[in-house]
């Protein structure tokens, strides 16, 4: 098998851990696999480098930032290669350039345009373990570029896609994807297999196991992704095509996002163009509006409500006041979004009914609802949001293996 393995910042957080990663990689090599290993910078390293630049400038040139930040990953790749060589393995470290990773010119948030796999292919043929510095590439003018924070996942998935790898394993400090946050519900279970689309929902709902962009890319390139822990031998979660999952549960998991706030506008003028003005101004200011509801109007006015991430509420407030959007503006920080995710929902009715009656049985008021083919989200009072998660987890029997 050709496997791309990616080790995140905590997995390579100190020299001892890099040593453990070397042992793990060696073991996989001994099992007969061809390996391309992608590494992050040691945890905290990228932030430290950003701090260094900050000492000299509040707005350093992005090209220089990429030169600086890309060094963190190179340190890890060289150290891991040295450790493996010392154990008697034939390993070779590669920068993004040597690995043939080409990007556009958008320094500090570049996108991969293509990968020239020639160097990697040749070294694999010679039986070498390739260690690639993640998070970086090279522009057509030979400048170093980086892919945005958390971008090493993206490097790994892109390489797996370009090389036609059988598997892309993302090693982190958690065992995989859970039916819900185990800190909230102790009967939460690790999910064995999940579809790309479900994983995208979980990722955008705040499950921080995988970067959203990398799941999207895995879906596009048809890469089988596994997320697992580098600190134990437990099998992780496979993220794959829906067709590869034989027995789809109706509901795969419950997500909770407490980082939500609501803006309510009362007595908004009920006429064409008002929503356009409000939401395009929010979009211009990069505010991520999630749920929107508008009531039936009366006497030429209506009520409008929408949710934004908590840390964008201040900006949203200022925009609303500047626009003079409504006579009456209210803000509520104490809300949370509880979501039920599952591809099986597409073919089953009654999932929403169960959700709403579970809330009713627990006396939890649902303040907003939104649905998609594979998700139902409800806004509730943050105080009761964990109770909501536990009740739903039980209502859909998520503690039992399907």
Residues that bind Mg ion (CB under 5 A): 258, 260, 382
Does position 40 interact with ligand ASP (CB under 6 A)? The reply is: yes
Q: How far apart are CA 132 and CA 163, in angstroms?
A: 13
Inter-residue contact 156 to 77 (CB < 8 Å): no
Dihedral Cα 120, 125, 128, 132, nearest 10 deg: 10
Q: C-alpha angle with apex 170: 165 to 172, nearest 5 degrees?
A: 165
**Of the candidates 18, 103, 123, 135, which one interacts with ligand ASP according to CB under 6 A?**
135
Does position 137 interact with ligand ASP (CB under 6 A)? The reply is: no
- The residue (of 5 and 179) whose beta carbon lies closer to ligand ASP is 5
Inter-residue contact 130 to 35 (CB < 8 Å): yes
- In whole angstroms, what separates CA 314 from the centre of its chain? 24
Does position 213 interact with ligand ASP (CB under 6 A)? The reply is: no
- The residue (of 111 and 258) whose beta carbon lies closer to Mg ion is 258
Dihedral Cα 245, 251, 254, 259, nearest 10 deg: 80
Does position 46 interact with ligand ASP (CB under 6 A)? The reply is: yes
| Stretch of residues binding ligand ASP (CB under 6 A), selected from 40-48, 294-302, 311-319, 393-401 | 40-48
Does position 210 interact with ligand ASP (CB under 6 A)? The reply is: no
| Stretch of residues binding ligand ASP (CB under 6 A), selected from 146-154, 228-236, 315-323, 336-344 | 146-154
Buried b (16+ CB within 10 A) or exposed e, 141-168: eebbbbbeebbbbbbbbbbbbbbebebb
Q: Going residue by residue from 9 to 38, which x/- string records binding to ligand ASP, judged by CB under 6 A?
A: x-----------------------------
Does position 149 interact with ligand ASP (CB under 6 A)? The reply is: yes
Q: Count how many Cα atoms sit within 13 Å of the Cα of residue 288 in the half-sphere of its side chain.
A: 9
Does position 265 interact with ligand ASP (CB under 6 A)? The reply is: no
| Stretch of residues binding ligand ASP (CB under 6 A), selected from 100-108, 149-157, 160-168, 258-266 | 149-157
| Among Mg ion, ligand ASP, none, partner that 41 touches (CB below 5 to 8 angstroms by kind) | ligand ASP
Beta-carbon neighbour count of residue 273 at 10 Å? Answer: 8
- Ranges of beta strands (E only) in 87-214 are 91-94, 101-103, 112-115, 129-133, 136-138, 144-146, 167-172, 193-195
Q: How far is the CB of 380 from Mg ion (least distance, A)?
A: 10
Q: How far is the CB of 8 from ligand ASP (least distance, A)?
A: 6
Residues interacting with ligand ASP, by CB under 6 A? 9, 40-41, 46, 72, 134-135, 149-152
């Amino acid at each position: 098998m050709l496997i791309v393995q990616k080790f995140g910042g905590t997995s390579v957080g100190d020299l001892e851990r890099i040593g453990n990663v070397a042992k793990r990689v060696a073991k996989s090599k001994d099992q007969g696999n061809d390996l391309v290993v992608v590494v992050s910078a040691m945890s905290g390293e990228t932030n430290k480098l950003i701090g260094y630049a900050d000492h000299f400038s509040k707005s350093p040139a992005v090209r220089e930032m990429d030169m600086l930040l890309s060094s963190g990953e190179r340190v890890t790749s060289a150290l891991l290669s040295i450790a493996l060589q010392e154990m008697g393995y034939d390993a070779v470290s590669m920068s993004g350039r040597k690995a043939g990773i080409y990007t556009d010119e958008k320094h500090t948030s570049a996108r991969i345009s293509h990968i020239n796999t020639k160097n990697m292919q040749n070294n694999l043929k010679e039986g070498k373990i390739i260690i690639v510095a993640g998070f970086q590439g090279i522009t057509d003018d030979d400048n170093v570029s980086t892919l945005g924070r958390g971008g090493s996942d993206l490097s790994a998935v892109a390489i797996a896609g370009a090389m036609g790898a059988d598997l892309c394993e993302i090693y982190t400090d958690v065992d995989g994807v859970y039916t819900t946050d185990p800190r909230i519900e102790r009967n939460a279970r690790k999910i064995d297999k999940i579809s790309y689309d479900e994983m995208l929902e979980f990722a955008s709902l705040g499950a921080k196991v995988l970067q959203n962009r990398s799941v999207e890319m895995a879906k596009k390139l048809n890469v089988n992704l596994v997320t697992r822990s580098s600190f134990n031998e437990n099998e992780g979660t496979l993220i794959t095509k829906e067709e590869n999952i034989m027995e789809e549960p109706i509901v795969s998991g419950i997500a909770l996002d407490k980082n939500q706030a609501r803006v309510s506008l009362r007595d908004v003028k009920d006429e064409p163009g008002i929503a356009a003005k409000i939401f395009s101004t929010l979009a211009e200011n990069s505010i991520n509006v999630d749920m929107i509801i508008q009531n039936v109007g009366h006497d030429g006015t209506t009520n409008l409500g929408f949710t934004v991430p908590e840390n964008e509420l201040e900006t949203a407030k200022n925009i609303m006041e500047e626009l003079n959007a409504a006579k009456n503006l209210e803000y509520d920080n104490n809300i949370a979004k509880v979501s039920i995710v599952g591809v099986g929902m597409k073919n089953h009715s009654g999932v929403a009914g169960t959700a709403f009656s579970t809330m009713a049985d627990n006396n939890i008021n649902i303040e907003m609802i939104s649905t998609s083919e594979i998700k139902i989200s409800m806004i509730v009072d943050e105080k009761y949001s964990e109770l909501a998660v536990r009740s739903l987890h039980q209502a859909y029997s998520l503690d039992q293996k399907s």
